[in-house]
Amino acid sequence: MAIPEPTTQGLAPFKDWHTWYRVTGDLNASKAPLVVLHGGPGAAHDYTLRMARLAERDRAVVHYDQLGVGLSTHLPECGADFWTVELFLDELDNLLAHLGIAGRYHLIGQSWGGMLAAEHAVLRPEGLKGLVIADSPASMKLWSEECDRLRAELPAEVERTLREHEAAGTTDSPEYRAAEKVFNARHVCMIVPNPPEVLASDAKTAEDPTVYHTMNGPTEFHVVGTLQDWSVTDRLHQVTAPTLLVSGRHDEATPRTVQPFADHIPDVRWQIFEHSSHMPHIEEEELFLQVVGSFLDSTD
């Protein structure tokens, strides 16, 4: 099915900058709108656009580009002390207020977006009706440990190439990028060649990698940025919103990385997509839309 066209698009003023957003559907519909938080950090919204089809269930779906990527303000001159979890929490709160939906909304966060959504949810915002954490770790320490385990299962020459270039600081080399694609085809998106919207997000990250490189690192599995010690595990008991966990059987967000969400969020359920890696919303699109749509309907 085709990705639906947006009903509206706009720019939300945020401090001295702006946040670009698009809305599919009617924000005043009877069902609470869904806000989509993309990954990265710094990956842009494009690869999550199939989630706009949830508007087919008479629910508005809001996509936005987080500060620093895509159609929102770019700030390549800003350093690590600027790019914080708190910055992106403030941006989300600002967008909810700008759209007039802070009193009633759902969140779905994919990868880093799920980490951000969890950080938002532990604050117990009154308007949050339902939470979907998709393909996200509760701890970056767990994420790194599991990525190391998955890397050990790669062909020996691929893993050797990765290690050698990481040690030499040459992660921009063509050899490293070719080896990275082997991991990604197993654990990020198993549809190869990748769909156009995934390539679009990748291109936007490559165009301005400031946020991704600062907070994460050069690749999904070599986390050397400011998020490397991040964890929300010890605060998850504070989440009051009904929560759906989503992950793929072959996901780089392995069951071990997701387990703390299941262990500590009081009202939680978990769907593992058997034929997916990190992008069930693409790899098993129809089932994903059915599962997530039904959950959201149950929490309105």
The yes-or-no answer on residue 111 being catalytic is yes
Q: What is the mean pLDDT of residues 55-76?
A: 98
CATH number of 8-143+225-298: 3.40.50.1820
**pLDDT of res. 101:** 98
Please confirm whether the linkage preceding 41 is cis (ω < 30° from 0).
Answer: yes
Residue range(s) occupied by CATH 3.40.50.1820 in the chain:
8-143+225-298
Quick: pLDDT tens for 5-34.
Answer: 999 999 999 999 999 999 999 999 999 999
Higher pLDDT: 177 or 251? It is 251
CA of 52: how far to CAs of 56, 165, 200, 240, 292, in Å? 8, 38, 16, 26, 12
**238 C-beta neighbours (distance < 10 Å), count:** 14
- The 10s digit of each residue's pLDDT in 276-289 is 999 999 999 999 99
pLDDT of residue 89: 98
pTM for the model: 0.96
> Which candidate in 251, 276, 277, 281 is catalytic?
251
Q: Which helix (H) or strand (E) holds 108?
A: strand 105-110
| pLDDT confidence bin for 60, thresholds 50/70/90 | very high
Active-site annotation holds for 251: yes
Q: How confident is the model at residue 70 (pLDDT cuts 50, 70, 90)?
A: very high
Digit-coded pLDDT (tens) for 74-87: 999 999 999 999 99
> What integer is the mean pLDDT of 57-63?
97
**297 counts as catalytic:** no
